[in-house]
Each structure stands twice: as structure tokens, then as C-alpha cells.
Amino acid sequence: MSSYNTEDIKKAINRYLKIREHSRKELQHKLLIKNFNEEDINSCIDFFKDQNLQSDERYAENFIRVKYEAKKGPLLIKSHLSHTGVDKVIVETLLSNYTEKQWIDSAVSALQKKYSIVNDIADKMRNFLTSRGFYKTTIDNAIKIFYNHEH
């Protein structure tokens, strides 16, 4: 292909990488959709990789950090990174930087965020039964029984 086409590919890659890190496979997919030549695409991506402007490892590291902070688990992360073509060894190495305790804390935090409404409902139940004139111990027991029958 012509060098003009290669320059177009490089400009496109540069635009994509300015927005966020991309895996090699993501870049290939986006550029193939634009009908660029696959061989030219690969040589241009290699150019960016050689200049350390594109890195699957850096992409995976950023992706894992963002998803961990968003309370996503390692299975979801592995699945996505596998889909985007990141080498399994890279993924496993980067995930090993997180301890089981960190994953548990993340899962607990996700549960607290998702199900904090349960505590709000229990507070509303307490207020409702208090306004109906029930004793605190009766209210606590009634709420326990209510939740045991619900679940």
C-alpha cells in the first residue's frame, strides 16, 4: 500500500491512543473496519509498540485498576482482557498483584453499595412500627422474622 495510506493508519492509531490505551487487537479491529490493509495495520501498530506508545501490558494494567476500583471481579476482568487479545500470562501476572483480601474487600464494598437499600428499608420498617406504638424489642423481632420469611 502507499505511504499515504500508512500515514492515515498512523494518524488513526494516534487518535485512538490519545483517548485511552488500546490493546493491539482493539486497534486492529477498529482499523480493519475502516478498510485499511491488514499488513499495513500490523506494521503501523508495531511502529507504535516499538516507540512504547502502544502496550498491551499497560492497557491491561490500566484496565484492571479501573475495573478493580469500580468493584468488578477478576473473572469479569479476565474475560474482557481475553476478548481484547491480551496475553493470559500478562493478565495473570497483573492480577496476582491483588490479594484475596483486596478482592473480598472489593466484593463486600460492591454488596454494600448495591444492597444498602436493605438498611434503608429496615429503618423505614422501624419508623413505621414505632409510629404504630410497638416496643423496640418487638420491632426488632418482627423485622428479623420478616426478613427470614422473605429470604
**Structural domain spans, the chain:** 1-54, 55-98, 116-150
For residue 116, what is its C-alpha cell? 444498602
CA–chain centroid gap for 32, Å, is 25
- pLDDT at res. 4: 65
- pLDDT at res. 1: 44
- pLDDT at res. 113: 84
d(CA 116, CA 150): 17
d(CA 119, CA 104): 21
Residues of the chain with pLDDT under 70: 1-4, 150-151
- pLDDT at res. 117: 75
d(CA 136, CA 143): 11
Q: Which residue has the cell 486492529?
A: 28
- pLDDT at res. 79: 97
- pLDDT at res. 3: 54
- pLDDT at res. 148: 87
The answer to whether 1-54 and 55-98 have equal CATH topology is: yes
DSSP-based three-state secondary structure for 150: helix
- pLDDT at res. 150: 64
CATH T-level fold of 55-98: Arc Repressor Mutant, subunit A (1.10.10)
**Between 3.20.20, 1.10.10, 1.20.272, 2.30.30, what CATH number should domain 1-54 receive?**
1.10.10
Whole-prediction pTM value? 0.77
Cβ atoms of 77 and 95 within 8 Å: the answer is yes
